[in-house]
Structure 1
Amino acid sequence: MGIFKGFIKGGIIGVASEVLKSRSSSSSSSMNSFSPSPLFSPSSSVPFIINGPIGEINRVITEKTFKTIKEKMSKVDTPLAEKVKKSIENIENWQRTLDNGKDSLDLNKRIMRLLAKEDTNLLQADHLYVQRSTYTHHGLYLGGGEVIHYLRGEGITTDSIETFANGAQVFVKKSLMKYNREIVIGRAFTRLGENQYNLASNNCEHYVCWCRNGD
């Protein structure tokens, strides 16, 4: 994932550290397991850059760091820990949106999709996508020629794969899938009818990724 500017005051690391500190003020074990020093190591891909609401860049955080922080915050049952997790998820969703836009507008990739053979051997819970004019639209394959997807103005709905494709070729995206296919489909239906579409933080691709891996 590329670079994205967040807005968490003091930086996510500082907030997360305070959460763990308050959880176990009488013991240093929690903080020892969450030492800030390795979190600044640019060891994985391109780092995220996190800004405070005012001022200079506070922290450079890698994707591995985000994952580590979310795992640790999941073990802390406090409102602040939930806010830290939600903030990271929002940043990741924003980045997916930016990546989607760059990918859909990349001329070489658009040409390759036009020339590529459509994926026809679809499996239940496959992550599908189609090229629209200036973006890619994503959905989850339910099987039997049906797709569940998030539409702006309509919410999460089911349609035939023909309606989903709208004349475009259908491709399978190899996104992360943490759950088995039955669980993925079950997760998809828990949000059927939701109508809170947000291009930046709750769009069609975010929904499919949530169904498949929880993020």
Structure 2
Amino acid sequence: MGVLTNKIEREDLKPGDHIYSYRLAYTYSHHGIYVDAGNVIHFTRGEGQETGTGTVLDRFIGSSLPQQCPLDDPCSICDDQSKGDGVISSCIDCFLSGGDLYLYEYDVTRKFFLAKPRGGTCTLASSESPDQVIHRAFYFLRKGFGVYDVIKNNCEDFALCCKTGLRVIPTVGQSGQASSFQAAASAGGVILSATVSMARSSILGVAGLAASCGTYCVKRYINDIGVRRDVMNVVLEEET
């Protein structure tokens, strides 16, 4: 793994790993916690449920659920999960839905974080022990993780909470993927202006593009859960 890719092989997976796979031609990624023996716990929203962002994202982000198992017939382990909703457990084949496997990185340096061209791949926050991570994942499998929201409470937020025990106060979203979308939207106007400037003056155009890239990186950085201070430790209720 490195700056350009977090791709790994299945045999390198360890219990408690935060994994993800891209959907819709790399438009967005779906995240989960690898438990053991090929099982993944992840947070989904039901088929056909509106994303409700009120933005262009609604056109591109489909259900985080696998549209179908890689096999023609329903999975012998998971059956048909297309109408599942909330925190569910799947075999790794159904989780990946035919995509490649990637490992989310924790406790990265600021330099490494900023060098990553795309959010939703790493964080400056530290992971807790695998036992703690798996315990939280199973707890949320039983108790739920609230209502799925593509910006405020998504699959990456779920995996981050399992790994770190942290959530943002109030819940406004902490995932790198959502932050990247929002940062890109903010920088979009600057990029458009820079493109026009490049047609008129190469110096002004380059300066404008540099400014837009800087805006994008800074917004990603300040929204990372490893940097934010508006976070709380999630206390799991004792079960009787």
Which bin holds the TM-score, normalised by the shorter protein?
Answer: 0.3 to 0.5
TM-score, with normalisation over the residues of structure 1?
Answer: 0.44
Q: Which has the larger share of helix?
A: 1
Higher normalized contact order (CA 8 Å, seq sep 6+, divided by chain length): 2
State the structure with more CA Rg: 1
